[in-house]
Structure 1
Amino acid sequence: MNGSIKTKEKHYKFSDEAFEAKFAQKTLSAVHFTHEAHLRLAWIHLQKYGLQKAQEHLTEQIKAYAENLGIYDKYNETVTIAAIRMVEHFRLRKPTGSFLELLAEFPQMKTDFKTLLESHYSFDVFKNKEARARFIEPDLLPFD
């Protein structure tokens, strides 16, 4: 590990299993669902289900979670799948025993996520309406 990640993120009060279950059941408070929490969910799902199922589960669950909170316009299919694929890329590059270890090894997933996305896309996926509605493959650098 390249150092220790210190976090005050509230979602760590839950075990991976409890966190995954609370999110799937839409009982997780919005204060617990941060960018880092999104990455952690991706890591949990990738560990348990593999890439394809992780993408299917998380796109469905995050859409349902956003709808449950009444924030329909917050969901972005391209960002969701890109985050999952980035976690998978780094997870395969350096397998770790926990998400925090992975984040310590590759902190840019949390601290510089937008720059990582910009290395794959020539346009702003956060502002693109089509990218919000459906996954758009990278036009600069593939995730694989």
Structure 2
Amino acid sequence: MAREREAPEVVVVERGSGLGAFLWGALLGAGVALLLAPRSGTETRRLLRAKGREFMDAASEKADELRELVSEGYERSKARVEEGLESARRAVDDRREVARDVVDASRAAAHSAREELERRLTEARAARARAPRRATEDEAESD
């Protein structure tokens, strides 16, 4: 049985405040209202002022919402950056502590090796200092 291949579906997600669509709708609505409503010039000016106030209030509200969204995003980003910095600081401190331990262990090993070397050198010098005396004593006894 042959399988039918379906075309892949593409989903487009738009993110935005909808401010542009709102502005277009408000302008279009105001224009249609002016053209279709039989009013006097005074009434039309009063209506335009009222609609203008409504428009400005709505635009101000949308701007406030946008400011709040930006502020929230900034705060979230700031918190993530601070968490990352703190994590990096802890990692650096941990590595520094490990390095300090390695340096201390290396110093202790070097000190121990030096003491051992000095002890052997002292023993070798003492043995060499005794060796000629023995040879001299052996020669004196043979005579």
- TM category, shorter: under 0.3
Q: Which has the larger radius of gyration?
A: 2
TM-score by length of 1: 0.24
TM-score, length-scaled by structure 2: 0.24
By relative contact order (CA 8 Å, sep 6+), the higher-ranking structure is 1
More helix by share: 2
